[in-house]
Structure 1
Amino acid sequence: MKKLLLLVSIVTFGFSNSYAQDIKFGVKAGVNVATLTGDVDDLTTRFSLHIGGVAEIPITDKLSFQPELLYSSQGAEVDEGLGFGGVSFNSKYKLDYINLPLMGKYYVIENLGVEFGPMIGFLVSAKYDIDGDSGFDGESDSEDIKDQFKSIDFGLAAGASYELDFGLNFGLRYNLGLADINDIDGSDSKLHNGVLQVSVGYFF
């Protein structure tokens, strides 16, 4: 991770020598519609959030480099069913990442840009939560399952954003996980992150 952050810093510094007066810094936050795909059944989308910082570094009048550093809560929910005694079963996988998207942005028209680039994610926590009266004892329960998932994820991100003249901006993006994040011993099942993000941000 240190080497990756150093590389991003070098690239950012290189651009900044030519475009320092035009670099913009900002923040963004929004909703995640996340799920886990691959060799899995009975999983549905989980609504969660993301938040973090962003920089936009112009390369030409229409093309920019946009690195971001985001906290992103991901995972999936399990389809409701019946547990012992006919008790309603409601649970979810909660995977929290620090994500580093390295986006190229091309302005199709003024203020409207399309974005595409690689993304790397670092797993900071993973839990399996059983909600409310789903637990055997009638209470919520949470299990740490971080050792069942790989610590690094990578994939591709694509989307679009629109910025108003005073800095407020809106974005829509899909993060496609390419890495198999399953790390359960003896399991050959493939597991991938998939996250649709709707964001609101502001450039200072």
Structure 2
Amino acid sequence: MTTTKLFARLAAATLFVAGLTTAAEAQVRRVPVRPAPTYSSSSATDGVKFGIRAGVNVADFSGDAVDTFKDFAALGNGALTQEMKPGFYAGLYVTLPLGPRFAIEPGLGYSEKGVRLNGRIPFEQFEFLNAKLDGTARLAYLDIPILAKAYITDGLYVYAGPQASLLLSGKARVKASAFGFTAYQNDFDIKNRLQTLDFAVVGGLGYQFQNGFGLNAGYDYGLVSLDKNNNFDIQNRVIKASLNYSF
């Protein structure tokens, strides 16, 4: 085989390989490149989610009865203060997506509510005793909220909706002390004096992380007077903060 023929065959083989390479590159260019899927921290884009949550309540009462009680104490020269009562909150929920940014979230939870009132006995002749009064109402409810959630950005959302609450127990404690020691204490069962059902409007905001954990905080605004006999007007007010986990 002459040098000329050998060179010609090598050139032809080179052109053939080059043609194959060009065709392969053209085929790669024709296949669209799909971006890697991204995981959104928004539960509204990830299908139905179940979850658990637990946290704390800071509860209070509002209404004419509380104001009247304070006014009466002031007329008697008593220094009465109303304090928010801390409590425990825990529950279950399910997040049902309605679109990329909206979801409905029904739930079920145990919630401790109530209020604390304290002050001094309004009689000058007993001032040397440093006599004080303390009253605490401790109410336990089964909360059933149905919330609408709107995601502002991935993870960050606001929520609002109605809530029905079933009264599980109602206790009141009255305590009197003098010289720093408890002189009198009595506990009362007040469940039969209170409405069995309470209704509220709730709202708040939260953040859901990609690992399933989340944080939220909100406010419950009670709409129903708690007195079963309608002798006084008083409603629940609750601030909630909790940690949740969706799976």
Residue matched to 2:5? none
Question: 1:184, 1:173 → 2: CA distance?
Answer: 30
Q: What is the CA–CA distance in structure 1 between the aligned matches of 2:223 and 2:174, rounded to whole Å?
A: 28
Once residues 132 and 52 of structure 1 are traced to their aligned partners in structure 2, the CA distance between those partners, rounded to angstroms, is: 36
Which segment drifts farther, 46-55 or 87-96?
Answer: 87-96
Conserved? CA contact 2:116–2:135, under 8 Å? yes
**1:4 matched to which residue of 2?**
none
- For the pair 1:98 / 2:142, whether they are aligned, the reply is yes
The reply to whether residue 54 of structure 1 matches residue 93 of structure 2 is yes
Give the whole-Å Cα distance in 2 for the aligned partners of 1:37 and 1:104: 26
TM score, norm. by length of structure 1: 0.82
Q: Cα RMSD (Å) of the superposition? A: 2.3
Correspondence for 2:56: 31
Amino acid across the alignment from 2:111: S
* Bigger Rg, structure 1 or 2: 2
The answer to which structure has the higher helix fraction is: 2
Q: Which structure shows the bigger proportion of residues in strand conformation?
A: 1
Which of 125, 129, 132 matches 2:173?
A: 129
Alignment of 1:1-204 (within 5 A): 22-39=47-64, 40-41=66-67, 42=70, 43-82=82-121, 86-130=130-174, 133=177, 138=183, 140-184=185-229, 187=231, 189-204=232-247
CA distance in structure 1 between the partners assigned to 2:204 and 2:151 by the alignment = 12
Question: Aligned partners of 1:60, 1:100: CA distance in 2, in Å?
Answer: 23
1:22 counterpart letter in structure 2 = G
* Matched-pair identity in %: 27
1:87-135 Cα offsets, whole Å, 9 max, x none, are: 322221011100001000000111011001000000011010235858x
| TM-score for the superposition, normalised by structure 2 | 0.68
CA positional deviation for 1:148: 1.5
Q: Which amino acid aligns with 2:219?
A: Y
Q: Within 1, Cα distance between the matches of 2:130 and 2:100?
A: 62
Q: Which runs of 5+ in 2 are unaligned?
A: 1-43, 71-81
Alpha-carbon offset, residue 45 of structure 1 = 0.9
CA contact (8 A) 2:220 2:238 kept: yes
Encode CA deviations 1:57-79: one digit per residue, 9 max, x unaligned. 11111000001101000010012
Q: Counterpart amino acid of 1:66?
A: E
TM superposition outliers: structure 1 runs of 4+ over 2 Å? 41-44, 79-88, 130-134, 136-141
How many residues are paired up? 182
Q: 1:183 to 1:82 in 2, by over 3 A?
A: same
State the shift of 1:180 in Å: 1.3
Residue-by-residue CA offset, 1:133-178 (whole Å, 9 max, x unaligned)? 58x9736431101112100000100001101100110001100001
Amino acid corresponding to residue 131 of structure 2 in structure 1: V
**1:147 partner SS:** helix
